[in-house]
Amino acid sequence: MVATPDKPQVEETPLSPEELRKIHAYWRACNYLAVGMIYLKDNPLLKETLTEDHVKNRLLGHWGSSPGLSFIYIHLNRLIKKYDLDVVYMAGPGHGAPGILGPVYLEGTYSEVYPEKSEDEEGMKAFFKQFSFPGGIGSHCTPETPGSIHEGGELGYSLSHAYGSVLDNPDLITVAVVGDGEAETGPLATAWHSNKFINPIRDGAVLPVLHLNGYKIANPTILARISHEELEYLFKGYGYKPYFVEGSDPDLMHQAMAATLETAIAEIKEI
């Protein structure tokens, strides 16, 4: 974890060993569901030897976005429960719906709205097959997603929608996850300046998360190619206080994300 030096003092490893075990297990389950939605139309628990007949003919849905989206979702849920927060998750990355649908299915919300997508093998098969499939649902967080108010994608409206959601909503925190490719659109680049319109007394807070996995649909992205220092100065210039959570070791990443979100929420509450 890299952060600005004047951050509040938050324990660097806020997760207990048991919390870490549970969060990592939950995240792995989300990742399995994401892979299943993108690839499988049958054999959801892989009880049989995988064959071509089990795999969808046309694959749509971005694996690169999905683990990060569910990673953020799970860590936000921990803080919502811990601090009784009022939080909206604005998912921006296009075709990243598996990263949202996975945790929504695991927590039971999806099956409540769509009982035929039950939390068993048959329900999981239907859940996998419907994703980005004729007669099913889209590869974005379409209106069929329980609670969806923003579809996401290349139009770049996630951040402006996030700021709109907190106007005259002083208790609300909207976490806006911005994808690599989305960050290069005109609407998103302009929306970083929406913080100028927020009144800290009357309005809620927006917590943007730039999810830099390095690529958009076809090639590397600009913000993933510039230096760490340049990226930090860019967002300071926009009026933000940037924190960096980066790495590849899951245990360290869970602790870093937990600590960074604790810090951000503490600063928002202080304001």
Burial tier of 8 (Cβ tally within 10 Å: 0-12, 13-18, 19+): exposed
pLDDT band at 64 (very low <50, low <70, confident <90, very high): confident
Query: Which tokens hold the place of 98?
Result: 């598996």
Query: Which tokens hold the place of 227?
Result: 């230096």
Residue 158 backbone dihedrals phi, psi, to 5 degrees: -60, -45
Q: Check: CB of residue 212 under 8 Å from CB of residue 221.
A: yes
Pick 8 or 16 by higher pLDDT: 16
pLDDT band at 122 (very low <50, low <70, confident <90, very high): very high
Pick 89 or 141 by higher pLDDT: 89
In this structure, what CATH number is given to the domain that contains residue 145?
3.40.50.970
Counting the structural domains of the chain, the total is 1
CA separation, residue 208 to residues 45, 108, 181, 194 (Å): 35, 27, 15, 11
- The domain containing residue 61 runs over which residues? 2-270
On the question of pLDDT at 1 being above 80, the answer is no
Q: Average of pLDDT values for 52-60?
A: 92
Gap between the terminal Cα atoms of the chain: 23
On the question of pLDDT at 7 being above 60, the answer is no
pTM: 0.92
Q: Average of pLDDT values for 112-137?
A: 94
CA separation, residue 247 to residues 16, 96, 177, 220, 256 (Å): 20, 21, 18, 18, 9
**Among 7-16, 47-56, 204-213, which stretch is predicted with the lowest mean pLDDT?**
7-16
- Supply the Cα-derived Rg of the chain in whole angstroms: 19
Q: Are strands 205-211 and 2-3 parallel, antiparallel or unpaired?
A: unpaired
Query: For residue 9, what pLDDT is reported?
Result: 54
Per-residue b or e along 225-241, where b marks 16 or more CB atoms closer than 10 Å to that residue's CB: eeeeeebbeebeeeebe
Query: For residue 10, what pLDDT is reported?
Result: 62
Query: For residue 99, what pLDDT is reported?
Result: 94
On the question of pLDDT at 72 being above 70, the answer is yes
